[in-house]
Amino acid sequence: MTRFFPSRLAFAPLLFGGFAQVSLAQEMTLAPMDITADQSIADRAREKSATLGPMGERRLLDTPYSISVLSSELIDSQQLKSFKDIIRYMPSVQADGARPQTRGLQGSVVQNSRLDGLNVVSTTDYPAEQLGGVEVLSGLSGSLYGPANPAGTFNLLSKRPTAFTRNRVTVGVGTGLTWLKAADLSGPFDPDGKIKYRLNVADEQGHSYAPGSTLRRQLVSLATDFQISDDSVIETNVSHYNYLSKGLPGKFAVASGVTLPHAPDPTRSNLGQNYSGDNNTTDTASAHFKHDFDGNWKLDVGALRQIADRESTAVTNTLINNAGTYRSSVASATASRFTINSYLANLNGSVYTAGIRHDLTVGVTGFDWDNYNPVAGGTKTLGTASLRNPAGFDEPDFPDFTDRYHSANARQRSFVLGDTLTLTPKWSLMVSGSQSRLTADNYSQAGVHTSSRDSGISTASSVMYKPMDDLTLYLTYADSLQQGDSAAAGSSNAGEILSPYRSRMWELGGKWVARGVNLSLAAFQIKRPFAYTQPDNVYAVAGDQRNRGVEFLADGDLTQNLKMFGGITWLDPKLLSTGNESTEDTRIVGLSRVTASLLTEYRIDQVPGLAVNLNARYASARPTDDSNDHWVGSYKTFDAGASYSTRLMKRDTVYRLEVTNLANERYWTNIVPGGLNGYTGAGQASATPAAPRMVQASIQVDL
């Protein structure tokens, strides 16, 4: 049994004890703090910025959108492992599904996710060791990035080389005895610092919390900066990442009229099968050429190539009655390879006309994305069991995942224009628009080819008012074209990319820097077509989704010793225009009315170098069917941890310990309509048991 007990941490004294004995014989000094003496916490909050697509870097105070920035410091302090781990700290983000979403709207496979501004696949895995932060823009952003779902834009930031030499090594151990070894090596190649590098390698292997489970993460990532002149730099990134996870609990689906029971103990044997899960390999290469013409006009040209291979053998346990009897099946038909080529070219700068400042942007962006599915992929029934007595089943014959057929191609081309007009010190206007062309080609395994072509304009207009320097009020309207969704696995048109459709958004908000904390409040309404698998098993648009809500975010330093990151979201997600009385004006499946999270970290002056953190999450009840006849209850979880920074043998050293799901709460995560994600084939909901109490301990040393 791999559930966490105190005896499970018997390794902790052994891991830390040897270092502690050495440290007692040496002078213990606090590692240097990363806070400059001449910058107040309010100044840091006021200058916090994010990349606003082709408009370049902007202060959060100067953007008429709800934007969150999750820093590398947060990633390190919480010992996070993946992109999905990172974005779980946002209250308006749902991160446990295949594709991330904000404000209750699911992102697409490609359009909503970016790496350093370039489109990447969202349904593969990205290790935290590769990332220097994540920027999330909630709501519609098609006028800036080209057509996309109204689910926000997730921009992953690669770690960049440092101007000084730093060799950082981390070793760690976690629940299930997963052993982590990682290195972050950075600095200049040459004495003049014209060429700099950053090499990240990570290897984690072992078992996860479920009996018989296997976990493996292996990363090699290299970033380089070539300073070809004082004004020009070429930035490159290449990475190879393999993620294998097998034997964890499968998804639980429900047949018609069946209610999801209380979530089972996820550490029980045979809720999944030890041969089922994911084996994903992602290779990515990108390059940017950046040139500063005169300190005002700046050019950024970038390109990316990515190949994401997947061996997905996901188990689904479909509950066929309310007594807990389920039928297990394993699916292997989802895409086994994605390839994507994406690009951008942005030019921005400022001019003055008639006393009005114009921050201008012109750019192009786009991608070419291909899907490949296994020829022999399908769904196989394993057998029947019950929650009282889960059963192991013999491994079926899986297909050759490298024997694929080309199932779909999507191409997107966008030309972007933008202008921010500063009319007075208090009033400004931001307008942006993109002219886009979208092409989708679908191929059945039998070779039948269908295609669609469309083009259109996406626009956004915002009015901003600053009654004082640290307060911005804004009103934004956005109208965005978006590529159609991909038909779910299990539907009769699986893999087909639907024709494009359009979404609209209103957002009224305010941003305020209070002491050292960035506060953001936004009220919004978003409406989009809603697609799901129909009773005839065809995936198609059959209604509208209208989400109204209010979100509050807080990020910064309350004092020099106390940091916080979190917020609360109230959401009213409705399904409309379905033509079916039972589903008209009902809550969207799997979405809570209220979600909240708050991470706090406190540095204890009485023990120099010691910091403690606490993270709390809450989600209210969620419906599990379109007619809202069945629900699952609310849940709350707590994470707690501590870190200790010191000098050990003249090396900066940080000890970390983190416990997630402290109370070992059992709850369902990632509740989605079965027809939307293709897991059930019965059109009902599916859900995943959440992870139990987990422990991670590590030592980080700068050599």
Higher-pLDDT residue of 16 and 169 is 169
- Amino acid identity of residue 25, one-letter, is A
Tell me, yes or no, whether 346 lies in a domain.
yes
Mean pLDDT confidence for 221-247: 97
CATH number of residue 96's parent domain: 2.40.170.20
Between CA 98 and CA 494 the distance in angstroms is: 16
Tell me, yes or no, whether 632 lies in a domain.
yes
Q: What is the pLDDT of residue 601?
A: 97
pLDDT at residue 16 is higher than 70: no
Are 558 and 516 a contacting pair, CB within 8 Å?
yes
Q: What is the pLDDT of residue 39?
A: 57
SS3 11: helix
Are 107 and 140 a contacting pair, CB within 8 Å?
no
Q: How many domains in the chain?
A: 1
Between CA 183 and CA 86 the distance in angstroms is: 20
Confidence of residue 446 (pLDDT cuts 50, 70, 90): confident
Are 435 and 398 a contacting pair, CB within 8 Å?
no
Between CA 35 and CA 534 the distance in angstroms is: 56
For the residues of 231-264, what is the DSSP string, one character each? SEEEEEEEEEEEEEEESS--EEEE-TTPPP-SPP
Tell me, yes or no, whether 1 lies in a domain.
no
Tell me, yes or no, whether 335 lies in a domain.
yes
Tell me, yes or no, whether 173 lies in a domain.
yes
Q: Which of 310, 301, 457 is nearest to 364 (CA)?
A: 301
Tell me, yes or no, whether 17 lies in a domain.
yes
Q: What is the pLDDT of residue 97?
A: 67
Q: What is the pLDDT of residue 79?
A: 94
Are 103 and 92 a contacting pair, CB within 8 Å?
yes
Between CA 174 and CA 180 the distance in angstroms is: 8
pLDDT at residue 3 is higher than 90: no
Cβ burial, residue 18 (10 Å; 0-12/13-18/19+):
exposed
pLDDT at residue 681 is higher than 60: no
Mean pLDDT confidence for 518-540: 86
Between CA 384 and CA 321 the distance in angstroms is: 12
Mean pLDDT confidence for 3-13: 35
Q: What is the pLDDT of residue 202?
A: 98
Tokens of 467: 């009654």
Range of the domain at 588: 6-702
